[in-house]
Amino acid sequence: MNRSEEILKEIKGFGIEQSLEYFASQFPEQVVFSTSFGWEDQVISHMIFSNKLPIKVFTLETGRLFPETYYVWNRTLEKYATHIHAFYPDTEAVEKMVSTKGPSSFYDSVENRKECCGIRKVEPLKRALAGNSLWITGIRAEQSMNREHMLSVEWDEANQIHKFHPIFDWTLDQVKEYIKEHNIPYNPLHDKGFPSIGCAPCTRAVKEGEDFRAGRWWWEDQSKKECGLHSS
């Protein structure tokens, strides 16, 4: 049931950490945060772990991540003495796709790429969200044009869950400053021109003057660059 407008009113005037605490108390054991260990997600992970909030943190282990992503994953576990739930794609689905089309079929067409994203990310996400009431994300408004008109709380029809974007209005400079101030571990690829980091075969560094998401699925038209996780 869509209560996004009501929820927005409930947290009006709250700070981010206060909002997180409020949601954890309002939806006990039904609040989850998805991290891909990028800048934004590390900020939110810090808020959750340092305050010991009862919010389940999970990640999608696609099987195609950068070594640097595993590095910051481990550093995060060490710093906060915590654990992060990993959701893997269905083995049979991956085996069938790779056996039939090869390990790099996503380069051949948008349909093939969406199939790969669907198997490695979208289906595991649905399992991760099942039975929960609130999904916390690291989305920021300035990350892409189609996110400028979103609200910090919205209803995800596809997954039947409310979404909360705590740092929706933050700039990238604010994110970097927060990470520096709190000595938060972050992916070293960010220092090499990777503002957005996904699967290794589908992500490259961004050149000066390029769009924020130009490094994701760079061989496709700009308008098609979504994997389906936030398509609602």
> In the structure encoding, which two tokens stand for residue 32, read together?
């989850």
Q: What is the pLDDT of residue 215?
A: 87
CA distance 31 to 193: 32
Give the number of other Cβ atoms within 10 Å of residue 126's Cβ. 13
Q: Is position 231 within any domain?
A: no
Half-sphere exposure of 48 (CA within 13 A, CB side): 28
Q: Which of 116, 117, 202, 227 is catalytic?
A: 227
Q: Is position 19 within any domain?
A: yes
CA distance 216 to 205: 9
Q: Is position 172 within any domain?
A: yes
Residue owning tokens 């079929």: 105
Alpha carbon 181 to its chain's center: 22
User: ∠ at Cα 45 (78, 192), nearest 5°?
Assistant: 80
Q: What is the pLDDT of residue 2?
A: 86
Q: What is the pLDDT of residue 120?
A: 98
Residue owning tokens 């669907």: 118
Q: Is position 106 within any domain?
A: yes
CA distance 93 to 144: 31
Answer yes or no: are the C-beta atoms of 45 and 20 closer than 8 Å: no
Range of the domain at 168: 4-224
User: ∠ at Cα 42 (37, 201), nearest 5°?
Assistant: 20
Give the number of other Cβ atoms within 10 Å of residue 62's Cβ. 22
Q: Is position 72 within any domain?
A: yes
Q: Is position 107 within any domain?
A: yes
User: Number of folded domains in the chain?
Assistant: 1
Q: Is position 93 within any domain?
A: yes
Low-confidence ranges of the chain (pLDDT < 70): 144-149, 222-232
How many helices, marked H, and strands, marked E, lie in the chain? 8, 6
Spell out the residues 6+ positions from residue 81 whose beta carbon is closer than 8 angstroms to its own: none
- Indicate if 202 belongs to the active site: no
Residue type, 28: P
Answer yes or no: are the C-beta atoms of 134 and 162 closer than 8 Å: yes
Interval 105-163: pLDDT, tens: 999 999 999 999 999 999 999 999 999 999 999 999 887 555 556 789 999 999 999 99
Q: What is the pLDDT of residue 232?
A: 45
Answer yes or no: are the C-beta atoms of 72 and 42 closer than 8 Å: yes
CATH of the domain at 176: 3.40.50.620
CA distance 190 to 194: 5
Q: Is position 140 within any domain?
A: yes
